[in-house]
Amino acid sequence: MSINLLIFGYGKMGRTIHENADHINANVISIYDPNIPEYSKLKLDNVDVAIEFTHPDQAYSNIKLLLENKIPVVTGTTGWFHRIEEIKEHYNFDDHTLIYGANFSVGMNLFYEIIKNASKLINQVCLYDVYGYEAHHTKKADTPSGTAKVISEILLQNLDNKEKAVYNLQNETLKENEFSFSSVRAGSIVGYHEIGFDSDFDEIKISHNAKTRKGFALGALIAAKYAVKNKGIFNFKDIFNDVIKIPPNL
């Protein structure tokens, strides 16, 4: 079954989603971006689902607009998640659909599971300290990345000796119950995340490096197909195991 797709925001991610829409048999019937003259008119007729990748300052109002028009929304914009509770208060998600996530990359969501299992093992040994590092392109609006925050939450849930992540440590000494997570913004880096477990005698590193935006686009497109058939508000990482059962036609 084909679905009619609205791409809301036509930057690098929007274009990548457009290029790969046929992998889920999606018809891109509308593109909206107020910053691009030829796409500055919003058309909502016959739209089955919208994928929104814009800016943290715009995401909340964009999502509200789409939900008010009963259009299921998949949003990959980060930096606005502190307003999720407001969205939940405004809409009955027995009759609306919103899928949000810090990272829609299929590989990153597998990486989350790897980190969870690794940190559980490390927690049993009590010989290792932990740190995190992430790097993105200079145009990324939020620091640290939303993905870095999710990774930190996973670590804090599974390491008994850590209670807080300190982002971009400056002129301060870490407490024993804290760990450092650093950020870099440079050039056109798509997205790199690394976790290290360090001891006096060795070091274990786990990393994920996004080569292109295609992995993010495919994850968002698969989520869009899920959104058409399911009502509710979902964090992509929480429904990943269900969503991934709808594979793209690679």
Whole-angstrom distance, CA of residue 65 vs CA of residue 59: 10
Active site residue 164: no
Positive or negative, the CA dihedral 206, 209, 215, 219 is positive
Active site residue 41: no
Strand positions, DSSP E, 22-177: 26-32, 49-52, 73-75, 97-100, 129-136, 164-167
Instruction: Count other Cβ atoms within 10 Å, centred on residue 56.
Output: 16
Strand positions, DSSP E, 13-111: 26-32, 49-52, 73-75, 97-100
Smallest CA-to-CA distance from 50 within 64, 38, 35, 40 is with 64
Q: Chain centroid to CA 104: how far?
A: 5
Smallest CA-to-CA distance from 74 within 193, 189, 239, 213 is with 239
**Please, which residues bridge with residue 183 across strands?**
134
Within 13 Å, how many C-alpha atoms sit on residue 200's CB side?
A: 2
Token couple for 10 = 């036509």
The two beta strands, 192-198 and 129-136, are: antiparallel
Whole-angstrom distance, CA of residue 223 vs CA of residue 201: 43
Which of the following is catalytic: 23, 116, 140, 214? 140
Annotated active-site positions, please? 136, 140
